[in-house]
Amino acid sequence: MKKMLDLVVTENLQLNQTYCLLKLSTADGALLPDMHPGQFVEVHVSDSPATFLRRPISVNFIDKEKNELWLLVQVIGDGTRRMSQYQKSDLVNLLLPLGNSFSIPDKTSGKILLVGGGVGTAPMLYLGAELKKRGYLPIFLLGARSHKDLLQLDEFVKYGDVYTTTEDGSHGEKGYVINHSILNKESFTQIYTCGPKPMMMAVANYAHKNQIDCEVSLENTMACGFGVCLCCVENTTKGNICVCTEGPVFNIKDLKWIS
């Protein structure tokens, strides 16, 4: 059940000039609502006159020991720029948790691949942690423009093997995630992905070609989070639906992506 809560900033880590990691908890010590990998929150950005609507941010991680919610924020406009300036003890109003979540396989056999690109790596961390908790050792394939844009690698290695690509070749293999050699060396039973739409479509076609079950987390503009503004409509096999209420996680069988 979604709630509107004021959370307090416990830490704001500036990862580089473009990304920050916000850590938030409850002000009164109450437990955070249950949140699952793939879900997102809507952040009300105060003191930003140009930001009229809430900003959708993926759940990056839940630190249950510290009762913290992590949000990986990419600074691309006035709203996210203001978020990057939050200080410890600031109060932030959030609507959470929103959307559906990734499905977790019942059996622990087989290899699972998690593919993330850019800020789309955010939900892969929490998903990887939950998969490891269930007995899996996930494989992460993370892509970025350069080594400066590869985020949280020290966290990802806690939960599985990590492979990377960069467009300039400064870390891992040069090129895009869909061209990484791991895709030819290993056989996977499940793939999850989040990132730029062209990347996810390429991963979806790879999965379809190799008969691998695949789920994607769409990053459509979700201004309201509960299906009113209609900014996030996606044309699917079931017709035009709101990503914020019917997603953001979809099985590729429900999308018109396969070429």
Which residues are part of a known binding site? 55-58, 72-74, 79-80, 224, 229, 232, 244
205-211: long-range contacts, CB 8 A cutoff, minimum separation 24: 205/257, 205/258, 205/259, 206/178, 207/252, 208/252, 208/258
DSSP code at position 255: B
Given a contact cutoff of 8 angstroms between Cβ atoms, the answer to whether 168 and 145 are in contact is yes
Q: Check the CA dihedral 181-186-187-188 and report its sign.
A: negative
The identity of residue 142, as a single letter, is L
User: Which residues sit in the known binding site for [2Fe-2S] cluster?
Assistant: 224, 229, 232, 244
Given a contact cutoff of 8 angstroms between Cβ atoms, the answer to whether 72 and 19 are in contact is yes
Q: Is 214 helix (H, G, I), strand (E, B) or coil?
A: strand
Preceding amide of 97 cis, omega within 30? yes
User: Which residues sit in the known binding site for FAD?
Assistant: 55-58, 72-74, 79-80
Partners of 193 in beta bridges: 115, 216
Partners of 213 in beta bridges: 190
Query: Per DSSP, which regions of 123-172 are E strands?
Result: 139-144, 161-166
Q: How far apart are CA 239 and CA 53, in angstroms?
A: 26
Of the candidates 177, 40, 175, the residue with the CA atom closest to the CA atom of residue 98: 40
